[in-house]
Amino acid sequence: MKIVFFTRLFYPHIGGVEKHVLEISKRLVERGHDVTIFTEKLNKSHSLSKQPLARSAKLRGEIDGIKIIRIDPGANNWFKKIRIWARLFEHCFVLKQADVIHCHDIFFWYLPFHFLFFKKPVFTTFHGYEENNIPGKKAILMHKIAEVLSKGNLCIGEFYKKWYGTNATFVSFGATNSNDEKINSNRRIAYLGRLEEEAGIMEYLRALKVLSDKKYKLKLDIFGDGSQRLLAKDYARDNNLDVSFKGFVNNADESLKNYEYVFVSRYLGILEALARKKTVFAIYNNEIKKDYLEMSPFKEYIAISGNHLELAKMLEAVIKNPNKEKAKIISGYNWTRKQTWEKMVNLYLKLWFMGKSSLQ
């Protein structure tokens, strides 16, 4: 089967959607399918990993048999959509030959081609929400257009029905690889995510200060970057917090074996931490993020808080009673180990075959 994926960013760019598409694509190729990915061209400032696979993905447009077509969208203005459609039209033959078109959030990339290839089955995966904002009318409308014009969709999270009115064909909460590791007890903390308000980096640091004032010695390593990096560094320095800023790191989840606790609030990172038997602390700063976390099957295995004081209280309780936390860690690990990438691939295939059957 010839499959075309649309995703705004892709490997070697680091992110949850990027990893999701990569892992699914690799396994589809292993099963004998032909996979082509349309994505934005990496800007010149992107620091290319020295790994051979990353060089292949950027320079030769291929990784593990996955074909990658990178397009230059130009400046980020209203005409960006027109430029994207024009670039895609140059590869119209790839779309014409595809058996399945699948959009990861960016359905608008394919929108004009839907009417050109009206009978071609197109599907959508909805991965998240609009950063730090409650969905507005435009965002809700775009989700609804994608839902109506798609033959089926996959929602990563249960919150879409409430906030976007999306009727999911299937709901998933992501996938990961399980790792049977020992439970650490070194009081080291890893932060996974962007350094943005939505991800809660400053609230995590404020919680650390509360515990530091109580004479708890905790070390935090931050894996990620973003617009609040300097603010976070200044806060950590001014309050004498033991914090290291690692920046974005390929396969940061592999470093989690060195930590006891993980600060993370996105599904993929949460699953990766649970799969390595870590105590997970997730924070929300608005109602949609609260539902994003609490309307999940793993909510019982993580500590969810709405501000730094709640977070500090939860972390202190875990520090004081580590044995009480072990049962929850094992339960979270046992649930997560069933959420495999192979299971996710099977869900995609089921979605596509259902959608294609409806055309017959």
Which domains does the chain possess? Answer: 2-175+340-357 (3.40.50.2000), 188-336 (3.40.50.2000)
Residue 285 above 60 pLDDT? yes
Cβ–Cβ < 8 Å for 213, 309 = no
| Distances in whole angstroms, Cα of residue 240 to Cα of each of 63, 213, 219, 246 | 44, 10, 11, 18
Q: What does pLDDT average to over the chain?
A: 92
> Phi, psi (5° rounding) for residue 178?
-85, 150
Residue 251 reports pLDDT greater than 90: no
Q: What is the pLDDT of residues 198-207, one digit of tens each?
A: 999 999 999 9
Summarize pLDDT for 308-318 with one digit per residue, the tens: 999 999 999 99
AA identity, residue 19? K
Nearest 5°: phi and psi at 110? -95, -10
pLDDT of residue 49: 47
Q: In terms of pTM, does the model score above 0.85? A: yes
Tens-place pLDDT, residues 155-192: 999 999 999 999 999 999 999 988 777 787 788 999 99
